[in-house]
């Protein structure tokens, strides 16, 4: 008998509220460059496409071209700070642990597919006590492509022992919904996360959650 289909989840803004730690590392880099601090809401609007894209948006006022070698130092500085900062205030959304445990008890394989660098993703999964529930963790640098490309989702499905079109992708961003749809998965949009509800509604999903695990 074929096992139940897997559930794949985004991390930031879906399983856990991590924005204060992301903002702290972003503002650490800005302070080093002599720039004023950004509010959490502003940093939140930049989240979803990985650390490099976040920094390009957060430092757009510098006017550096994309191939400027100074970006390498900026990314290293962000990564060094975030390595110790990424769990400072991170917390699971209500009901996450219970819902994941119920899915596992029913035989569903569970995994994370995030654009966050995989080292930080694994650190967070461990810190939040989800390692035993989430068998697969795929980060933005696990492959040479990231969401909204379906490649990371398809890779996670393979790691779970399943095929394209078998399962559900759950996330709070357009990249999650697009990657899941391109992989043939059912999609669930988390309206409590970091992206505006109107944008997620325009993107379309099979189901919408106002809280984790339910409508």
Q: Which residues are part of the catalytic machinery?
A: 10
| Contact criterion met (CB below 8 Å) for 195 and 13 | yes
Q: In whole angstroms, give the CA distance from residue 88 to residue 30.
A: 19
DSSP three-state, residue 113: strand
Q: In whole angstroms, give the CA distance from residue 209 to residue 130.
A: 21
Sign of CA dihedral 149, 92, 111, 205: negative
Helix axes 19-32, 70-85, angle to 10 degrees: 140
Give residue for tokens 């394989």.
109
How would you list the strands of the sheet with 136-138, edge to edge?
136-138, 110-113, 7-9, 168-171, 186-190, 207-209
């Amino acid at each position: 008998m074929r096992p139940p289909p897997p559930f794949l989840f985004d991390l930031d803004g879906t399983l856990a509220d991590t924005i204060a730690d992301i903002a702290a590392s972003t503002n650490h880099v800005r302070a080093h460059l002599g720039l004023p601090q950004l509010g959490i809401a502003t940093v939140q609007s930049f989240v979803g496409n990985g650390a490099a894209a976040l920094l390009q948006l957060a430092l757009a006022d510098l006017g550096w071209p994309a191939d400027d070698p100074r970006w390498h130092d900026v990314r290293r500085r962000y990564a060094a700070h975030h390595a110790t900062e990424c769990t400072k205030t991170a917390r699971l959304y209500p009901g996450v642990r219970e819902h994941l445990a119920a899915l596992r008890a029913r035989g569903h394989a569970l995994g994370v597919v995030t654009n966050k660098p995989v080292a930080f993703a694994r650190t967070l999964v461990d810190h939040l006590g989800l390692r035993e529930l989430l068998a697969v963790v795929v980060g933005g640098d696990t492959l040479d492509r990231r969401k909204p490309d379906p490649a990371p989702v398809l890779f996670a499905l393979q790691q779970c022992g399943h095929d394209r079109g078998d399962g559900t992708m759950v996330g709070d961003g357009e990249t999650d919904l697009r990657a899941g749809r391109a992989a043939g998965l059912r999609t669930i949009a988390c309206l409590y996360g970091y992206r505006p509800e109107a944008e997620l509604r325009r993107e379309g999903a099979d189901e919408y959650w106002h809280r984790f695990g339910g409508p």
